Amino acid sequence: MAVATHFSFPVNYVLSEASRSRGRFDRKLVRAVASGDSVAPAISEETKVKLGGSDLKVTKLGIGVWSWGDNSYWNDFQWDDRKLKAAKGAFDVSLDSGIDFFDTAEVYGSKFSLGAISSETLLGRFIRERKERYPGAEVSVATKYAALPWRLGRESVISALKDSLARLELSSVDLYQLHWPGLWGNEGYLDGLGDAVEQGLVKAVGVSNYSEKRLRDAYERLKKRGIPLASNQVNYSLIYRAPEQTGVKAACDELGVSLIAYSPIAQGALTGKYTPENPPSGPRGRIYTREFLTKLQPLLNRIKQIGENYTKTPTQVALNWLVAQGNVIPIPGAKNAEQAKEFAGAIGWSLTDDEVAELRSLASEINPVVGFPVEYL
């Protein structure tokens, strides 16, 4: 059975390592010039939300950078200068469009994941180049710790974090997350997150792919140290609503933990780009099959119709639907400037309650693809 989401990516990482041992954005954009030098476009506070119970504020929509540097799942198994320039364009246009929250991970693009170049390395380079152009530029960075079976104890979290910081060329990150639950040693990992906060290496901490029970346990363990669990990053989209069915979404709302939604446009399936005659290439083609895309067409047709009423694309409608659920921060993956600009146009406006309900009803008639299995542990 095919598995959607970024589960396939960490699996490559684990197996390899083990074998070794367009839309409108309604916001206020302020630009200024001082002493003849350009100043970075300012991000309006109106576009930001607090991340859980932390003091960190991030934009209502972020950008996932899993694909940057990857050639094991994305990019048709190839990474080249053209794709590098496209990723740099996605980064710059995101910031120019008012989106300054980027999510990466130590496994993305890693050689241990059979990747070409670390996503963290690329993001760090792009940030440095941006700040050389705009010294006052601010970028919010989230990255993740890989809970590999041979990594034990809180010290492993701090060690991995410092390695990530070196690749990112930063002294600290805004959000550090456990990428998935470990087979064992999760208490130590959570203690490591707490240590990272106390050492000033991170502003906020979160988890990813955590079930309701694991989420509650993590929340309570960190709470004892006076540290809020800021987020839980899970697979969530209009056609994959497991977080609602498993109680994760309700628990996040109850505890004040922000839900960060990865694969919010179902890896492109909700964009309208793919049809039964034109399925996605690579591993995604085995997940979003011709049969599945045939069943998806009525929903996609209605999304397109609704979008036309707002002069919005299907992608922007699908992302706005997620935002309408409340306490949700989608992080679609941007490979190029055009996609980044389109994603920015997903916020600053709202679907009606009736439209949100109608799309949910239509989506309920479609059998979802399989998510990250640990969600059900």
Cα torsion 68, 69, 74, 78: sign: positive
Q: Look up the CATH number of domain 60-269+315-350.
A: 3.20.20.100
**Residue range 338-346: average pLDDT?**
97
What local confidence, expressed as pLDDT, does residue 68 receive? 84
Task: For residue range 78-105, list pLDDT tens digits in order.
Answer: 668 888 999 999 999 999 999 999 999 9
**Alpha helices (H) in 138-270, listed in sequence order:** 154-168, 186-198, 212-223, 242-245, 248-255
Q: What is the mean pLDDT of residues 212-222?
A: 98
Model's pTM, two decimal places? 0.87
Number of C-beta neighbours around residue 239 at 10 A: 25
Please indicate whether residue 210 is annotated as part of the active site. Answer: no
Cα gap 125→132, rounded to integer Å: 11
Q: Which of 13, 73, 108, 145 is catalytic?
A: 108
For the chain, state the CA radius of gyration: 20
| pLDDT above 80: residue 123 | yes
pLDDT of 118: 84
SS3 content of the chain, % helix, strand, coil (to 5): 45, 15, 40
| Residue 11 vs residues 6, 108, 115, 283, 364: alpha-carbon distances, Å | 9, 11, 13, 13, 29
What b/e readout covers 348-374, taking b as 16+ CB neighbours within 10 angstroms?
A: bbebeeebbeebeebbeeeebbbbbeb
- Give me the residue label for tokens 């440095």: 128
Q: What is the mean pLDDT of the chain?
A: 86
Tens digit of pLDDT for each residue in 17-36? 333 333 433 333 333 333 33
Distance CA 261, CA 339 (A): 17
